[in-house]
Structures are given as C-alpha cells and as structure tokens.
Amino acid sequence: MPELPEVETVKRSLEPYLAGEKITGVEIYYGGIVKEPEPAVFRALVQDKEIKSLGRRGKYLLLNLSGDLTLVIHLRMTGRLTVTDRAQPVDKHTHLIFRLSGEKELRFTDVRKFGLVYLVPTGCWNSIGGLFTLGPEPLEEEFTLACLHEKVERKKNTKLKNFLLDQREIAGIGNIYADEILFEAGLHPERPLATLTPEEIKRLFCAIRSRLGAGVESRGTSFRDYVDGTGAKGNFQNELKVYGRGGEPCGKCGTQLVKSVVAGRGTVFCPRCQS
C-alpha cells in the first residue's frame, strides 16, 4: 500500500499537470470505486470544475476543486493515479477517467479494486472515517517530540509496531516505513511503549522524521504496483535496511535478520541491533 512518501510523491508529480486544469468529462467504468456520492451525482458535480490545488493528508490525496469541493482519493493496495495523453490505450484495470481541458486525462487504475474515491465539501471529512480521525502529520511542525511523548504516555501497553501503524496516532506510516523507522531507532517492534526511556523516544522521533523524509526524497518505494503520477517508479527500495530482507545479514552487525508477524503484518528486524 502506498504510504506517506509515495502519496506525497504522487501529489508532487501530478501538481504541474493538474493545477489550473478544468475537468471537462468523467468516465466511470467501475462504480464501486466511487464511495460518495453515487456515481451519477458524482459525475454531474465534478463536470467543469477547476482543479485549484493538490494536497495530502496521511495516505489520502486531496484534489481541491472550484465550488468548495474536494476529491479525496485513497490508492489502497494497488491503486495508481496517473496523467496520460488521451490517445494512450485504456488499461483493462482503469476504473475512472477525468478528461482535462489541456487534452490530457487523469486515470485511476486498480488491479484489486480496493481504491476509494469521495467527493465532499472541502474540509468536511466527517463522512470519511479514516481521514477524519487521522493523527498529526509526522513531517510537519505540529508533530513535535513533546507530542510523541504525550502519545507514548497515553498508549503505554501498546507495542511499538502497532503504535506506528495506527493512523489515529501518526498519519501516513505503513509497514515498509515502520520497519525502517524501528531499525534506525534500534528498537524492537514488540517493545511495549511503557518500556521506552526518554532517550529512546527521542531516537524514535528522529527516526520517524529521517526515514519518512528520505522516502520522500527518493520518491517512494517501488516493488510491484506503486508509480508516481507520471508512471515513474521510486528509488527508496534501493535504500531499505530491513523491510523485505528477512534472512539476510544485517547491514550493521551481520546478524541474520528475523522475519516475524507483528500487528498482523510481516515484520523484519535485527535481533541484535534492535532491543
């Protein structure tokens, strides 16, 4: 699933093509992807709207339209949102197409059909539970060391990996970056938050900022489905220290990396470097 760095990269890559464009038509090939409102109303409401700006909140992409409306898009597992020439053949997994005034198209393709699209009044996220309850953005000023201390104090009995994956606590972290963050911080994924010292909380805070920032800088992690808004792959897969490397030697100490299941997700860590 695309995480904060991937969705931020999609946003940045689409911005030059979409900002200021008008939506001149909509094709909905799979109505199940449009969650709100129902497809016919959705089509009518976005017709002739200008894309004023793009934003991101956690793993959600936000297209702010004229008329105080926002397209809220979640790519989920296999979703791709790309801008293409109109002459390009339509992929069989394309479920939604926005025709743009500049003779290009914005296409949503999704092999597994898990993606979500909403059209709501700008700022009115209460009907989108996953967006409405998001925690702070970890790369913004609102996320401070004091903020992390407060959250750790409140969730004492929670395991570290579970905590990082909880979007209500910190927005945008998924399985890839959780493993990378914990490795950089030198913390075991099953450590209860109550056992963390102030120094370890500081290391965790710095690792969250560092690894997510590096992911954005490298334009995300591409293994299978993820590409940016122009169809280009990211590069962070070349910088991964533990994720997807179970059984390989640790790059720091040489110990074999362990793969286990934590918080219901495949998890890789170094049993020597992470305690």
- Euclidean distance between CA atoms 270 and 211, whole angstroms: 17
Query: Which structural domains are found in the chain, ordered by start?
Result: 4-132 (3.20.190.10), 145-269 (1.10.8.50)
| Banded pLDDT at 225 (limits 50, 70, 90) | confident
Which residue among 35, 209, 241, 265 is the active-site one?
A: 265
| pLDDT value of position 108 | 97
Considering 3, 8, 105, 184, which one is annotated as catalytic?
3
Instruction: Give me the catalytic one of 2, 5, 136, 189.
Output: 2
Q: Per-residue pLDDT tens for 36-63?
A: 999 999 999 999 999 999 999 999 999 9
Would you say residue 269 has pLDDT above 80? yes
Could you confirm whether 202 is annotated as catalytic? no
Name the active-site residue from 56, 59, 99, 219: 59
Mean of the per-residue pLDDT values of the chain: 96
Q: What is the 3-state secondary structure (H, E, C) of 216-259?
A: HHCCCCCCCCCCCCCCCCCCHHHCCCCCCCCCCECCCCCCECEE
Euclidean distance between CA atoms 25 and 42, whole angstroms: 11
Catalytic (active site) residue 36: no
pTM over 0.85, yes/no: yes
Q: Is 3 a catalytic residue?
A: yes
CA dist 176 and 268 (Å) reads 10
E strand or H helix that includes residue 69: strand 69-74
pLDDT digits (tens, 9 = 90+) for 113-127: 999 999 999 999 999
Mean of the pLDDT values across residues 203-207? 98
pLDDT band of residue 223 (cuts 50, 70, 90) is confident
What pLDDT, on a 0 to 100 scale, did the predictor assign at position 204?
Answer: 98
> 59 catalytic, yes or no?
yes
